[in-house]
Amino acid sequence: MKIYYNPNKTQWSTLAERPALNAQDLGAVVQAVFQDVASEGDKALRKYTEKFDKVRLEKLRAEETEIQAASTQLSERLKAAIQLAKGNITKFHQAQAGTKEILETTPGVRCWRENRPIEKVGIYIPGGSAPLFSTVLMLGIPAKLAGCKEIVLCTPPDREGNINPAILYAAAQVGITQVVKLGGIQAIAALTLGTTSVPKVDKIFGPGNQYVTAAKQYALAQGTSIDMPAGPSEVLVIADETCDPAFVAADLLSQAEHGADSQVILLSNSKQVIEDTQKEVQTQLQALPRKEIAAKALENSKAISFESLQECLTFSNLYAPEHLIIATKNCQELIPNISNAGSVFLGNYSCESAGDYASGTNHTLPTNGFAKSYSGVSLDSFVKKITFQELSIEGIKNIGPAIEAMAEAEELIAHKNAVTIRLDTIGKMNQ
């Protein structure tokens, strides 16, 4: 990690920049795959699965027997952990449901909102070196609670044509029965366009590599909604002299091991904390199975010393991290000053891994600074909110003249007439 001491505010914007990805222009590749899937359907999906995943599939859909058999391939310890996480995630998202409230804005004018589930959703689950079965819970549970009628899960198979059993087990626990052995651009294309084996969906959720991210952006241009703009994972830790540097180092490394393009940031009002944490990072790094990946991420990461915690918070709000950990004394007092963050972890024992797996909050969060304008996935992500209004005779009489005046001023006379004809009719009724 690169260390900076009390940088001038003119440097902050540069320090808050994410590492530039050496990603090739994927536009032409994405477009070609989408066009093939549009014209050839399942045939194209099999072709690209063989090309990219090195496996030839006869059937793209996972059989019910495969899904059920996954349970026998997992340890009881892991299954119990998944059950605990499922319970906490369910509790947290159930509490977001809310109730319908009818408001009379003017006598005779009633307005309210009602939720309706997005009918068909697609969930993309990466399945490479780190199969994210936890994301099945994070996306499948709120989708089920929202009442989505159709949930289609796509995840890439291994070279034997199998899906990671933990992904299948999590899907079974959530109640997802449509599991498709597809990854990469072709999976997003299938969910966007629909084929014989893969239903077309209304909204696509889930993380992925640069190919999946580019495909989701293309899907959005084709009229299929997506959860949010995606980017590499990131964490920002604010720590003072009361933190445990070993804990902080572990949190930084937990994000660094996601990928070489991940970024971790440490902010502190103590130079000693930064120095001690740096030593811990190097010690813990050597024991990690993914240390080469984490080391690459650390090359693009920073530790910054500021004069005060308030400066740390100001920089954090500029950076707008996906994950924000506050390992300070009286961390609760800092909450009102947090304006931009995907998910916040308070105190020395609130590790970011808790949110990734089992505390109950959702781990599908805005990255790359989008926490300034986007929220993480929630129950609301799977519903549409429809507004209703009901006007009585009293209501149209009360607000009708105002509507007429405003419509006339905008020179939309048909709008005005829609009110005038009603008021005239009411007037005749009272004669």
Catalytic residues: 322-323
Q: Which two tokens stand for residue 345?
A: 């972890």
Q: Are the C-beta atoms of residues 323 and 236 closer than 8 Å to each other? A: yes
Q: Which two tokens stand for residue 193?
A: 């366009």
Name the 3-class secondary structure at 151: strand
Structure-token match 């009633």, residue found? 110
Among 233, 209, 376, 244, smallest CA distance to 301 is for 233
CA 247 from centre of chain: 26
* Cα 80 to Cα 164: distance, rounded to the nearest angstrom: 18
Neighbours of 351 (CB within 10 A): 18
* Residue 317 identity: N
* Residue 355 identity: G
Neighbours of 391 (CB within 10 A): 17
Query: Which residues does 254 contact at the CB level (< 8 Å), separation at least 6?
Result: 235, 351, 352, 353, 356
DSSP 8-state symbol, 307:
S
Q: Are the C-beta atoms of residues 271 and 307 closer than 8 Å to each other? A: no
